[in-house]
Structure 1
Amino acid sequence: MQSEAVIEFLGDVPVLQRLPSSSITKIAQHVVVKHYNSGECVFQEGEPDGAIYFIWEGEAEVSRSFYADNHDSQVFQWGKFDHFTSSESDRQEDIIALTKVTCLMLPHKYNSLMHPYSLWSADMNLNTCAPSEHILSLDPLDVNTFRGITLKGAPKSGKVYGGQFMGQALAAASKTVHFHKILHSFHAHFLLAGDINIPIIYKVDRLSDVPNVATRRVNAVQKERVVFFLIASFHKEEEGFDHQEQTMPSVPDPESLLPEHGLEEGVKLPRHHPRTGVSTSTSVPWPTEIRPVDPKKYAIHTTRHPSISYWLRAKGRLPVDQALHRCVGAYISDMLFIQISLNPHRREGIIPSSISLDHSMWFHRDFRADDWLLYVIDSPTAYNARGFSRGQMFNKKGELVLSAMQVGVVRKLKPPTTTSKL
């Protein structure tokens, strides 16, 4: 059996889709092909306990006396892409082949491959991994349910940052599809403010699976209420037409620009540059490096054009998994986005506010989120208390890697009034 065919099959096994792609590749190297005739016991004399079986074809029946550790399903019959574990008691009658059955058996000594440290890295080290990877590492509760948290020190402003919802929801969706199918678009809606003090449960619906495309819906749940949801589409890489009409603006290189927050990693600032952005209980450093193209500082009351450009990249070094880089791209895309639609309306005596309603993105080309990306944002219109912003990200070669759009409620708040106590 060819290794390419084995990897292709294992990528469609639901229990394996939550693993890093590198783990699936390693599992493919260690599985053993097993064949059984109808009515034959799956476990043979001398079979090691704890081995994991993935059904390649055929059906198997589980007797009522079977008590293997299979938390993901309570069924007593299995078919293609299902998995089961050999019984601790090694009872030969536990599992019977209903038809001719072909299984891929992973010996017990390789079971550790089924338990990586994160969705993205088999050997993740929390002390050295990139902050954005840590933020987007969810806990799988079953094949369609994941748990995320707002980490201590993660960007927030009294509520869950919108980019966190998108990045974590996309991480959950990405871990329910074949790793050869890569996220190409999503459409998200923000329903309620997220509570930073409690976990977020991400429930994935497998809406559609065809050979080259998959569609998923993800609900983010807190306190038994859906606070956010998105629909995402995934596409297997294939050859096709290639063109790009949009050109990247001519801007200075990021290395020649000053960082947004006081002292960034590896950058020595001149003495006159203020050291702002110090971590406090309400303000923490972003897991990204930011270099504004226009270094001029604007006050909240300064009227200006509804556009901005800045270089950004995730801090640290991320694993090679393209699925993670696209989740990080979604995570960072929400920074300074809908707020740009407020720029023409900033003036003394007006306190502007914005609340995101929906967010859509399209991924055009592979990219690395830990390499510099130029984010170009503008807001062509605002009306009826709704602002509209659109953005494009380019890599340093000038390739357009993603496009984004967002609509939000934008309002002017009345300044607080003070009443004399006299």
Structure 2
Amino acid sequence: MTSVNDLLDLLVLEKIKETEFNGISKTVGSPNVFGGQVLAQAINAACRTITNGRVLHSMHSYFLEAGNLDLPITYNVNIVRDGGSFSVRRVTAHQKETTIFILSASFHKSETGYNHQMKINEDVKQPEELLSWSDMYNQFGDFLPKHVKSFLEIDRPVEFKPTEFVNPLDRKDLPPYSDVWFKVKGDVSELDLATKQQILTYISDYNILVSALNPHASVAHWGNTQTASLDHSMWYFRDFVLDDWLLFSMESPNASNARGFARGNIYTREGILVASVAQEGLMRPKN
């Protein structure tokens, strides 16, 4: 995938019945289905059953089994409730007879109320100052470990620019933080809010566990640690545009029992808080 059109071809599901949809998968460099893809496809399925104009404001999900890239995924939507202000949907994802994922999503009618948000870090480096993943691959690919090089060489519909370039050959522990700018490739000017939220959900599963792995970087890396998303929650606060860089600012309060917990905020370049994310992931040292 090289642009937003390729990504939308992946995320917009085939409708089978009013509450049943089918999706396909594309690799992001992992042997299993990318968690962000399943998250976004499930949100697409849930949104397709909303007929009252309500807007997604939160979702909570669990990854139950690793998805097989070669098999289609069927999403079944349960219409839990359409109340006076909120609508709730529950989505179950299957491959053959196996349930691989469950998600609950809540949609809210437009209302006015109080307003505040946490501020963006005003000292963060701007994207124009930074190298993208593509830049890193082009400039340093011959010197990178095989697992890092193979990950960076994958074509993606999103460009990522970490605020700090960490040399994978320099084994030292790092603070439990990570800031990454990202921008979608292609024309996104005509996308509605629901579609933008699905794209943001897809992107939210990238990078977040980096902050949990950072404090152990002297001994742990992606090549010797088994990682997988276990659960994923997201809260959507405000409308936004995708045609400029967004900042995903992440931190990890805890790692224990072969699991790492991370949370993050997504801001526009102007410092408007768009969404918050929380995830616990498997971080199991390989023997």
The TM-score normalised by the length of structure 1 is: 0.61
Shift of 1:170: 0.3
Percent identical pairs in the alignment equals 36
Greater strand content: 2
Give the secondary structure class of the aligned counterpart of 2:270: coil
One of 138, 159, 172 as aligned partner of 1:289: 159
2:194 is aligned to 323
1:340 aligns with 2:215: no
1:274 is aligned to 140
2:68 is aligned to 195
2:3–2:184 contact (8 Å) kept in structure 1: no
Count the aligned residue pairs: 280
1:346–1:352 contact (8 Å) kept in structure 2: no
Code of the residue aligned with 1:288 in structure 2: it is V
1:304 aligns with 2:179: no
1:29 is aligned to none
One of 123, 131, 143 as aligned partner of 2:6: 131
1:352 is aligned to 225
Q: How does 1:1-400 map to 2 (within 5 A)?
A: 130-151=5-26, 154-178=27-51, 180-262=53-135, 273-274=139-140, 284-299=154-169, 301-318=171-188, 319-348=190-219, 351-400=224-273
Shift of 1:279: 9.8
Runs of 4+ in 1 over 4 A off after TM superposition: 126-129, 275-283
1:365–1:401 contact (8 Å) kept in structure 2: yes
Give ranges in structure 1 of 5+ residues lacking alignment: 1-125, 415-422
Shift of 1:243: 1.4
Give ranges in structure 2 of 5+ residues lacking alignment: none
Shift of 1:281: 10
RMSD: 2.7
Shift of 1:348: 4.5
Code of the residue aligned with 1:412 in structure 2: it is P
Code of the residue aligned with 1:354 in structure 2: it is T
Code of the residue aligned with 1:360 in structure 2: it is S
1:342–1:352 contact (8 Å) kept in structure 2: no
Larger radius of gyration: 1
Say if 1:358 and 1:250 are closer, same or farther in 2 by CA, change over 3 A.
same
Greater helix content: 2
Query: In 1, distance between residues paired with 2:247 and 2:151?
Result: 30
The TM-score normalised by the length of structure 2 is: 0.88
Q: Relative contact order: is structure 1 or structure 2 higher (C-alpha 8 Å, sep ≥ 6)?
A: 2
Give the secondary structure class of the aligned counterpart of 1:392: strand
Say if 1:259 and 1:347 are closer, same or farther in 2 by CA, change over 3 A.
same
